[in-house]
Amino acid sequence: MQHDMFAESRSAVRIGPGAMLLGGFASAEARALLAQIPKLGAVSPFRHMTTRNGGRLAVAMFNCGETGWISDRRGYRYQSLDPETGNPWPAMPDLFRSLAGRAAAAAGFAGFSPDACLVNRYDAGTRLSLHQDMDEQDHDAPIVSVSLGLSATFLWGGALRADRPERHRLHHGDVVVWGGPSRMTFHGVDGVERGDHPETGPWRYNLTFRRAQ
């Protein structure tokens, strides 16, 4: 019993008001989550989206769910059709939705029902600069972010871009949830190291669940 309590206190860390790093929360399901990615990617493939000024996002992405986040020459927004295929994004697997709901509840946000899941793929050296998730209409719902494969460093900043971020190492199966007073916190990703992960080889994947509409 004492051992279990120790393990639990180590695995869940409060990183801010309404923000938790749930260490290993998705470990038991990680393999099943990963097995969905090629199936979803057969409908909406990974791609490097364009930015407003013609740049290329370093992180490769696609979405599943009723709506999906995109970036192009017109800026950032959500839309229900994949611009690459002209078809709806693939449906969100039940396992994804269920995991997101359970992780949100474990962090104090009961009843989270995501309508969008952004699937991100990083290779060694890929960085995601500090940003806020602000294209969603619903800012009451939390963000649930699942790390799979190679480890990375999560940059956890403040309410201002200039706030110096804390650095939290994220490993395979870790889940970060942020909502309430932390919902608009600046965050990013750094430090994906070259590696050969037993489940994902040279990649880090991240599933970001949101209530967008």
Binding site for ligand SIN (CB under 6 A): 120, 128, 145, 147, 154, 187, 189, 206, 208
Instruction: Write out the residues near Fe ion by the rule CB under 5 A.
Output: 133
CB nearer to ligand SIN: give 6 or 125: 125
Q: Give min distance, CB of 120 to ligand SIN, in A.
A: 5
Tell me the residue type at 18: G
Question: Residue 134's CB: how many other CB atoms inside 10 A?
Answer: 9
Contact 75, 52 (CB under 8 A): yes
CB nearer to Fe ion: give 172 or 210: 210
The SS3 assignment for 35 reads: helix
The SS3 assignment for 82 reads: coil
Give me the residue whose beta carbon is nearest to ligand SIN.
Answer: 206
Give me the residue whose beta carbon is nearest to Fe ion.
Answer: 133
Q: Give min distance, CB of 3 to ligand SIN, in A.
A: 30
The SS3 assignment for 9 reads: helix
Q: What, of Fe ion, ligand SIN, none, does residue 145 touch, CB below 5 to 8 Å by kind?
A: ligand SIN
Distance (Å, whole) CA 18 – CA 163 = 18
